[in-house]
Copies of this chain bind each other. A is one copy, B any other.
């Protein structure tokens, strides 16, 4: 994305955007906040807490990776807008519904949101990279060429097939599932 490409696509002067947004930063944050609002709005509030959180993470990853220019910046941005707040409220309510204490709600919120936001953003940024990268975009970020050295890296060598089979979306989702396991275990203990 560049302002010149944007102007070309919209049939307007590249600098016309400055009539509507102060700078690139504000534009990106407005787009991101809209995406967040769409995600939060698409999650049924009728779902049990665990399914609700899983659906949120699932949709979040899909949307972020489908909009890689915005998504790549989602991990380190605060929009402060209604979309972000709707997401925040959705996550907090779900964790409270799980039966967690006030303190635990905030702690697990920060873990789940930090995990999902950062890992999804990394997946989007990975996908954004030029084609010069050797691996397909859905493969995990570990280099495979060095895994052929059984002397220096015996354990990595022994697990090379399993490592090569890792895929970003599966890692994201199964990782989130593990976090939800922890939430559930803590909730039933309290």
Which A residues have a C-beta under 8 Å from some C-beta of B?
25, 72, 75-82, 84-86, 88-89, 92-93, 96, 102-103, 105-107, 109-111, 113-115, 117-119, 121-123, 125-126, 129-130, 132-133, 135, 140-147, 149, 152-156, 159, 162-163, 166, 171-172, 174-175, 178-179, 181-182
B84 pairs with A142, CB closer than 8 A: yes
A179 partner residues in chain B, CB cutoff 8 A: 178
**Given known contacts A76-B125, A175-B110, is B96 in contact with A155 (CB within 8 Å)?**
yes
Q: Which residue of B lies closest to A103 (CB)?
A: B162
> Closest CB of chain B to A187's CB: distance in Å?
14
Q: Would you give the shortest CB distance from A175 to chain B, in whole angstroms?
A: 4
How many copies the complex holds: the figure is 2
Report whether A106 and B76 are in contact in the complex, using a CB–CB cutoff of 8 Å.
no
- Asked whether, in the complex, the Cβ of B78 is within 8 Å of the Cβ of A141, the reply is yes
Q: Do B81 and A114 touch (CB < 8 A)?
A: no
- Neighbouring B residues of A76 by C-beta, 8 Å: 72, 122-123, 125-126, 129, 141
Decide if the interface of chain A is mainly helix, strand, loop or mixed.
helix
From B93, B117, B156, A89 is in contact (CB under 8 Å) with: B156
List the 4 closest A-B pairs by CB distance, nearest first: A80-B143, A118-B118, A75-B122, A76-B125
